[in-house]
Structure 1
Amino acid sequence: MIHLTPARREAFAFGLRSWLACVLALYLAFLLQIDEPLWAALTVWQVIQPAPGMAISKGFYRMVGVVIGALMGIVLIALFSQTPELFIVALALWVGACTVAASLLTRFRGFAGVSAGFMTALVGLGAYHAPEKVFDIAMARGAATLIGIACSLLVTTLFAPRRAQAALIQSLRQAISDTARRAAFPLEGALADRFALGPSLAGSLVGLEPVIEFAAQESARGRQSAGPARRLVADLFAVLTAKRALEEYLGRVGLGRDAGSIALYREGMALLDQVPAMMAAGKEAELLEKTRAYHRRVREAARATSSPRIDDRLADLAAHLERALTLCLALQDESRSAPPSDRAFRLHFHRDRQAAAINGARSFLAVLLAGAFWIGSQWSAGPFLIIPIVMVCSIFVSAPYPEAAALNFMKGAACGIGAAYLCTYHFLAGTGDFALFAASEALFLIPAAMIQLNPRRTAFGLAYGIFFFLVGEPSNAMTFNPAAFFNSALAILTGALVATLAFRLFMPPDPRRARRHVVSRMRSGLKEMAEQEPIPAHSEWQTRNFDRVYRLCDPANPSAIRGSQAREWYEGGLATVHAGNEVLRLRHLLREGALPERAATLGRSLLRAVADIAAEPEAVSPAIRRTTAALAAMTPPTENPGAWDRLLAVADELEAFFAAHSRFLNPERKPMNERIYGT
Structure 2
Amino acid sequence: MPRIGRAEITFSLTTFAAAMLALYISFLVGLERPYWAMLTVYISSQPVAAAALSKGIFRVAGTLIGAAASVLVVPMFVDAPPVLSLVLALWVGVCLFISLLDRTPRAYLFMLAGYTAALISFPAVDKAEDIFNIAVLRGMEIAIGAACSSLLHTLIPAHDFEAAIGGRIRTVRTEMGRWLDEVLDGKVDAERPDLPSRMAGHMTELRLMATHLRFHPDGGKLARGTIMVLWDHLVLLMPLVDAIEDRLTVLREPEGTSWPEGLADVLAHLRDWVGQEPQTLSATRAGVEARLAAWHETLSPDDWRGLIALNLHARLAELVMRYEATQWLAEHTLHPATPLPAPLTPLLRAKGRRLWHRDVGLAFRSALAAVIGVLGSCAVWIVTMWPDGGTMAMICAVVCSFFATLDDPRPAQASWLKWTALSLPIAAVYLFGILPHVTTFEGLVLALAPTLLVMGVFLGDPAIYVKTMTLVVGFCGALALTAALEADFARFINSNIAQLIGAAAAIVTTGLFRVIGAEAAVQRILRRNWGDLARLAAGRLALTGEAWNSLMVDRAALLSPRIGHLASLDGRDRAAGDGLREVRIGLNLIQIRQMIGVVPADTRQELVNLQNAAAGLCHAQSLPDRTGLDEYRAETLVALRAAGAKCREPSSGSAERDLLNILVGMTRALLPEESL
- Mapped to 2, the partners of 1:101 and 1:371 lie a distance apart of 23
1:577 aligns with 2:583: yes
| Deviation, structure 1 residue 23 | 1.1
Which of 180, 183, 187 lines up with 2:180 in the alignment?
A: 183
State which drifts further: 345-354 or 629-638: 629-638
Match of 2:29 in 1: 32
AA of the residue aligned to 1:83: A
What code does the residue aligned with 1:77 have?
V
**Matching residue within 638, 642, 652 for 2:654:** 642
How far is 1:52 from its partner?
0.2
Q: Distance in 2 between matches of 1:157 and 1:572?
A: 38
How far apart are 1:215 and its partner, in Å?
Answer: 3.8
Partner of 1:214: 212
Q: Indicate if the aligned counterparts of 2:458 and 2:465 stay in contact, CA closer than 8 A.
A: yes
Contact 2:47–2:159, Cα closer than 8 Å, also in 1:
no
Query: Relative to 1, partners in 2 of residues 1:135 and 1:625: Cα closer, same or farther, differing over 3 Å?
Result: same
- Per-residue deviation, residues 13-69 of structure 1 (Å, max 9, x unmatched): 222122111111111111111122221111112111111011012112112211211
**Amino acid in the other structure paired with 1:647:** L
Q: Which residue of 2 aligns with 1:676?
A: none
Q: Structure 1 residues 353, 232: CA separation in 2 closer, same or farther (over 3 Å shift)?
A: same
2:670 partner amino acid = F
| Residue pair 2:100, 2:107 contacting (<8 A) in 1 also | yes
Q: State TM-score, norm by structure 1.
A: 0.87
The question of whether the paired residues in 2 share the 8 Å contact of 1:216 and 1:223 is answered with no
Which residues in structure 2 correspond to 1:303-318 (within 5 Å)? Answer: 305-306=299-300, 307-318=309-320
TM-score (norm 2): 0.88
Give 1:615 shift: 4.7
Matched, 1:270 2:272: yes
Aligned partner (choices 63, 66, 74) of residue 69 of structure 1: 66
> Matched residues, percent identical?
23
Q: Is the 8 A contact 1:553 1:562 kept in 2?
A: no
Q: Which residue of 2 aligns with 1:608?
A: 612
Could you say if the C-alpha distance between residues 358 and 374 of structure 1 is closer, same or farther in structure 2, counting changes exceeding 3 Å? same
Whole-angstrom distance in 2 between the partners of 1:571 and 1:466 = 39
1:90 paired with 2:87, answer yes
- Is 1:586 paired with 2:592? yes
Code of the aligned partner of 1:576: E
Counterpart CA distance in 2 for 1:298 and 1:226 is 35
Q: Which residue of 2 aligns with 1:322?
A: 324
Q: For structure 1, list consecutive stretches of 5 or more residues without a partner in the other structure.
A: 663-679
Tell me if the contact between 1:74 and 1:123 (Cα under 8 Å) persists in the aligned partners: no
Q: For 1:548-586, what per-residue CA distance to the aligned partner results, in whole angstroms no more than 9, with x for missing partners?
A: 23433425x786547998993456732222111111221
Question: Which residue, 618, 635, 654 being the options, matches 2:666?
Answer: 654
User: What is the match of residue 642 of structure 2?
Assistant: 630
- In structure 2, give the amino acid aligned to 1:285: Q
The residue identity in structure 1 corresponding to 2:10 is A
The 2-side partners of 1:246 and 1:385 are apart by 57
Aligned counterpart for 1:128 among listed residues 125, 128, 134: 125
Alignment-derived partner of residue 370 in structure 2: 363
Matches of 2:647 and 2:39, distance apart in 1: 75
The amino acid across from 2:501 in the alignment is: T
- Alignment partner of 2:33: what SS? coil
Could you tell me which amino acid in structure 1 is paired with residue 250 of structure 2? R
Aligned partners of 1:552 and 1:559 also within 8 Å: no
Contact 1:553 1:569 in 2 (8 A): no
- Is 2:414 the partner of 1:407? yes
- Within-5 A mapping of 1:252-651: 252-254=250-252, 259-272=261-274, 275=275, 278=276, 283-291=277-285, 294-295=288-289, 298=292, 305-306=299-300, 307-335=309-337, 341-342=348-349, 344-345=351-352, 347-399=354-406, 402-531=409-538, 535-555=542-562, 561=567, 568-570=574-576, 573-591=579-597, 593=598, 595-613=599-617, 615-616=619-620, 618=629, 619-634=631-646, 636=648, 641-651=653-663
When residues 300 and 212 of structure 1 are mapped into structure 2, their CA distance, relative to the original with a 3 A threshold, is: farther
Once the two structures are superposed, residues 444-496 of structure 1 have per-residue CA deviations (whole angstroms, 9 ceiling, x without a partner) of: 21111222222232222222222322221211122221111111111112112
What residue in structure 1 maps to residue 239 of structure 2? 241
Distance 1:76 1:475, change over 3 A: same
8 Å CA contact 1:239–1:317 kept in 2: the answer is: yes
Aligned ranges 1:23-62 → 2 under 5 Å: 23-62=20-59
For residues 400 and 310 of structure 1, do their structure 2 counterparts lie closer, same or farther at Cα, with a shift above 3 Å needed?
same
Distance across 2 between alignment mates of 1:565 and 1:391: 41
2:305 aligned partner: none
The one-letter code matched in structure 1 to 2:493 is F
Cα displacement (A) at 1:87? 0.9
Question: Residue type of the partner of 1:589?
Answer: M
Q: Is the 8 A contact 1:228 1:342 kept in 2?
A: no
Amino acid at match of 1:197: L
- Distance in 2 of aligned mates of 1:176 and 1:130: 59
Q: Which amino acid aligns with 2:133?
A: D
Contact kept in structure 2, 1:410 and 1:460, CA below 8 Å: no
- For residues 113 and 558 of structure 1, the distance between their equivalents in structure 2, rounded to whole angstroms, comes to 32
Please state whether the residue corresponding to 2:223 is helix, strand or coil.
helix
Distance 1:342 1:169 in 2: 21
Q: Structure 2: which 5+ runs fail to align?
A: 301-308, 622-628
Determine if contact 1:94/1:117 at 8 Å carries over to the other structure: yes
Residue number in structure 2 paired with 1:117: 114
Q: Shift of residue 189 of structure 1?
A: 2.8
Is the Cα contact below 8 Å between 2:537 and 2:612 reproduced in 1?
yes
The one-letter amino acid paired with 2:242 is R
Aligned-partner SS, 1:398: coil
Q: How far, CA to CA, are the matches of 2:505 and 2:643 in structure 1?
A: 62
Q: Distance in 2 between matches of 1:154 and 1:219?
A: 10
Whole-angstrom CA distance in 2 between matches of 1:612 and 1:323: 37
- For residues 643 and 10 of structure 2, what CA distance do their matches in structure 1 show? 68
**Which residue identity does 1:198 align to in structure 2?**
P
The verdict on how the C-alpha distance between 1:221 and 1:155 changes in structure 2, with shifts beyond 3 A counting, is closer
Instruction: Spell out, residue by residue over 1:68-125, the C-alpha distance to the aligned partner (whole angstroms, 9 max, x if none).
Output: 1111112221331111101111111111112222322224222112211121012211
Q: Structure 1 residues 5 and 76, CA, compared in 2 at 3 Å: closer, same or farther?
A: closer
SS in 2 for 1:130: helix
2:624 is matched with which residue? none
In structure 2, C-alpha distance between the alignment counterparts of 1:131 and 1:390, rounded to whole Å? 20
Deviations 1:317-353 (A, max 9, x none): 1222111111122223434697575574564332222
Tell me which moved more, 210-219 or 17-26.
Answer: 210-219
Count of residues paired in the alignment: 648
Distance 1:131 1:252, change over 3 A: same
Structure 2 counterpart of 1:605, one-letter code: N
**Which residue number corresponds to residue 163 of structure 2?**
166
CA spacing shift, 1:270–1:18, aligned 2, 3 Å: same
